[in-house]
Amino acid sequence: MAEYDFGFPTPDAPEAAGGASGAEPTFLSADSPDPLNVQLSEIMRGKIRNREWRRGRYIPSEADLMAQYGVSRGTVRKAIGTLVAEGLLVSRKGSGTVVADGGISRPGNARSFSFAASLRDGGVRYTTQVLQKDVLPAPAEVAESLQVEPGEPALFMRRVRSVGGRPVVCQESWSNLEACPGLEQADFTTESLFDAVERCSGRKIALSHMHYSSCRAGAQHAACLACGASDPVMVLEQNIELADSTPIEWSLTWLGPNQSIVGVSMQSDGFPGPLELDGIRTRPREGAAVEDDATRALRRRLDLDALAVRRGVVEWGRRYMGSPLHFGGALSMAEIVAVLLDEVMHTGRDGTPWDERDRLIVSKAHASVALYPMMLKRGLISQDDVDRGLFGPDARIFKHPERDPQRGFEISGGSLGMGLGYAAGLALSLRRKRLPGRVFCVVGDGECDEGSVWESAALIGHKRLANLTVVVDANGMQLDGPTAQILDNGPINRKFTAFGFDVVEVDGHDVIQLADALRNPGDRPRAVVARTRKGHGLSFAEGHAEWHDKALTEELYQRAMRELDAREEAIRNE
C-alpha cells in the first residue's frame, strides 16, 4: 500500500511512497549552483511538505542522513539548522530532531467542521462526486487514529465537491466501521458523511481535533481540483469523535486554490474564554465581575466545605497529638477537595450508577487526611470508619490510603508520581467501556519533579483522554523547601500545554474559579493549575515548609480553632 502527497494511505496511489510528485528534489547534484547544505535542506523541506516526515516524529539521525546523501556532518547540521530557523524542525538536545507541529490551531470546544453543512447552511448549491469508496484493512497509522486494530475493516473514501461545476474541495477519509455499522451502504452523493455517521451510529458527532496546513497541490490533487501541481492549497486534517469520545473518522480536506475558511468566534457559556498567546486560559481575578445571588450562595457553601476540610485536618492532628501529619499539603488543597467532591464529581453515592461514577486519584497521597471530611459528607466513608482511626488493625482509612474502591479509594497511596499513570489507565478503560465517568487526579507541583508524571502526561495527551482532568496543587513548596530552589519545574502550565492538554490556571483558594475550571470537560485532557499556599488557613503554618510533615501541639490546636472559628464567622457574614 503506497502513500501519496500529504501522507494519507490509499490503495491505488500512483505516486511513490513519501509523496514525491516530481516537483521536489530527491538527490544532491554536484552540478547545482546551490551549496550541498542548501540542496539538502530543500529535500528535507519536501519530505515535511509531503508528510513523509510527520509532525511530532523524529527525523533520521545525523549519521543516517550523512550515509544516505554522502555528505559531511557539518552539511547535515547546516541543513537542519536552516529548517529549525524556519520553524519546520525542532532540535531536542540529547534526543534528536523532530518535525514541528506548525500550522494554525483552532480553539477547542468547537463543533467538528463539515464542509457539506457549511455549504448547505450558506445556501450554496453543490454536487458531490465519489471517486472512490472501499472497505479496506486499516493501515497502522489509520488504526492508531481510529483506535482499532491494524487490518480491521475501515471505510476509505475520496470525494470532490463542486460549486457551479468547479471543484472546490477534495475530501479523503477513513471511517470506523466497528462504531458505525452499515456506513459503507450510504449514498454519499446525496448524504453527507457526518449525517450518515450519526444515522448509522445512533450517536452525535461531538468534536474534532483539527490542524490546518498549507502545501503545494501535487499531481494527484491537482487533477481533482483542476489546478496546477505547484499551486498552493490549504489542507485541513481532522480526527473526529462521537459524543462518547469514540474516534469515528480521520480525514484530510484539500481546499482548491483561492478558497478560504471564514468563521465567527462567539464568547458564551458554552465556549472557552480568550485564548492567550501561549494557549493558556487564565480565569478572571476575584472581584473582576459582580456575582449574582446563586453564585454567592455557591461560594458560601463551598467555602464552608473547605473550612470543614481544614477543621477535619486539625482534628486529626489533635487526635494524634505529637505524631507528624502532612498539614501543609492537606490545607493547601482544601478548596480543591471541597469543589471536587461536593460540586463537580458524580460520586456513585448521589444516585449515579456505581460503574458510571467519577473517579478521584490523589497522587499526593500523604495529604489524604484532607479527603475524609468531604468523603464522610458524601457518604463514601462512614462515621465508624472515621472512629476507627488512621492506624492499627481495625483501621479502614489510613494516613496513606489503601486501595478500596467501594469507599472511593481507587489506588493505594505512598510513592509519589504514580497516581497520574494510574489515572490514565482508568480514563482509557472508561473510554473503551464507553462509560461516562470522568477521572480527576490531584498532583503536587513538587511531585511534578518525578519523571513518571511527564511520561503519563505524554500518554494522556497522545491518547486524547478528554475524560481526564489533572489538578496541580501548585503551592510552591515541597518537603525540603520552595520548589523553585529544590528543582525548579519552570512554567508548569506550558509543559502540560506542550503535551496537548487544555490548561487553565486559577486561584486555587477561589472555589468559583475552581468550579468553573473543573465542571465541563472539553475535547482534550485538561490540566487545572491551582495556585495555592502551603498550610493555607492557619497563620502559623502558611508558607512554612516545616509544616509539610509536623506534629500539632495543644497550644497550636487551640490557636487553629480560634482562627477557623473567625473564618467561619466571616464567611457567614459575607
Per-residue pLDDT of 399-446, as tens digits, reads: 788 898 888 888 888 778 888 999 999 999 999 999 999 999 999 998
The cell numbers describing 227, all together, are 489546478
Q: According to DSSP H, which parts of 320-366 are helical?
A: 327-332, 334-339
Q: How far is CA 88 from the centre of its chain?
A: 23
Shortest CA distance to 439 belongs to which of 409, 461, 411, 467? 467
Count Cβ atoms within 10 A of the Cβ of residue 385 and give its class: 0-12 exposed, 13-18 middle, 19 or more buried: middle
| 394 Cβ contact list (under 8 Å, min separation 6) | 388
Location of C-alpha cell 497516581: 419
State the pairing for strand pair 232-242/247-255.
antiparallel
Give the model's pLDDT for residue 488.
75
H or E stretch covering 130: strand 127-137
- Alpha-carbon gap, residue 78 to 34, rounded angstroms: 13
Least confident of 67-71, 248-252, 272-276, 434-438: 272-276
Give the model's pLDDT for residue 205.
84
Least confident of 9-18, 87-96, 447-456: 9-18
Q: Return the DSSP state at 409.
A: B
Q: Return the DSSP state at 256.
A: P
CATH class belonging to 3-99:
mainly alpha
**pTM beyond cutoff 0.95:** no
Please answer whether residues 411 and 420 qualify as being in contact, where contact means their C-beta atoms are separated by less than 8 angstroms: no
For 489-504, b where at least 16 C-beta lie within 10 A, e where not — what string? beebbebbbbbbbbbb
Q: Could you give the C-alpha distances from 488 to 62, 481, 532, in angstroms and in order?
A: 32, 11, 17
Q: For the chain, give every domain's residue range.
A: 3-99, 115-268, 292-573
23 phi/psi in degrees, rounded to 5: -90, -25
For 335-372, b where at least 16 C-beta lie within 10 A, e where not — what string? bbbbbbbbbbbebbeeeeeeeebbbbbbbbbbbbbbbb
The cell numbers describing 72, all together, are 559531511
Give the mean pLDDT of 463-468.
95
Q: Residue type at 127?
A: T
State the pairing for strand pair 247-255/281-282.
unpaired
- Alpha-carbon gap, residue 361 to 469, rounded angstroms: 10
> pLDDT tens digits for 498-534?
999 999 989 999 999 999 999 877 889 999 999 999 9
> pLDDT tens digits for 330-371?
999 999 999 999 999 999 998 899 999 999 999 988 888 898
The cell numbers describing 16, all together, are 511513490
State the pairing for strand pair 247-255/166-176.
antiparallel
Which DSSP string do the residues of 143-161 spell out, in sequence order? HHHHTS-TT-EEEEEEEEE
- Alpha-carbon gap, residue 270 to 209, rounded angstroms: 18
Please answer whether residues 247 and 238 qualify as being in contact, where contact means their C-beta atoms are separated by less than 8 angstroms: no
Confidence of residue 10 (pLDDT cuts 50, 70, 90): very low
Length of the chain, in residues: 574
**Can you list the positions of beta strands (E) in 19-165?**
89-92, 96-99, 127-137, 153-163
State the pairing for strand pair 359-362/439-444.
parallel
292-573 has which CATH code? 3.40.50.970
Does residue 381 carry a pLDDT above 50? yes
CATH superfamily of 115-268: Chorismate lyase-like (3.40.1410.10)
SS (H, E, C) 186-247: CCCCCCCHHHHHHHHHCCCEEEEEEEEEEEECHHHHHHHHCCCCCCEEEEEEEEEEECCCCE
Give 338's Cβ-side CA count (13 Å radius): 28
- Alpha-carbon gap, residue 187 to 190, rounded angstroms: 6
